[in-house]
Structure 1
Amino acid sequence: MSKASWPEVLGWPATAAATQINADRPDVAIEVLPAGTTVAPGFNSERVRVYFDAGDSRGPVTATPRVG
């Protein structure tokens, strides 16, 4: 079964998290977005959104990235 969430990347720099997700699931598109960004609703099995803290120079991931 394909991996569907990445709780281990919480607190990581967003770029490192995106790299890890891409290594695990090269078949999905990864969107890296500042936390609080408004996005269109709906599930997409070919997408993972990575939310990061734009106010921190390290841009740590603030929520568990998951397929959808």
Structure 2
Amino acid sequence: MSKASWPEVVGWPATAAVTQINADRPDVAIEVVLAGTTVAPGFNSERVRVFFDAGNSVGPVTATPAVG
């Protein structure tokens, strides 16, 4: 079964998280989104959103990325 969430990348730099998710699931599109940004609702089985904190120079991931 394909991996559907990446709790282990919370706190990682966003670029490293994207690399890991892409290695695990090259079949999904990855959207990197600034935490607090309003995004369109709705489930998409071909998308993973990675929310990051721009207030920190390394842009750590702030929430568990998941398919949807």
After superposition, what is the alpha-carbon deviation per residue over 1:20-57, rounded to whole angstroms, capped at 9, x for unaligned?
A: 00000000000001101111000000000000001100
| Residue 13 (structure 2) aligns with | 13
Q: How does 1:18-29 map to 2 (within 5 A)?
A: 18-29=18-29
| Residue 43 (structure 2) aligns with | 43
CA distance in 2 between counterparts of 1:30 and 1:19 reads 10
Structure 2, gaps ≥5 residues long: none
Amino acid at match of 1:58: V
> SS where residue 65 of structure 1 aligns?
coil
Q: Which runs of 4+ in 1 moved over 2 A?
A: none
- TM-score normalised by the chain length of structure 2: 0.99
Identity %: 88
CA distance in 1 between counterparts of 2:22 and 2:37 reads 22
| Residue 59 (structure 2) aligns with | 59
- TM-score normalised by the chain length of structure 1: 0.99
The count of residues paired between Structure 1 and Structure 2 equals: 68
Structure 1, gaps ≥5 residues long: none
Task: Quote the RMSD (CA, aligned, Å).
Answer: 0.3
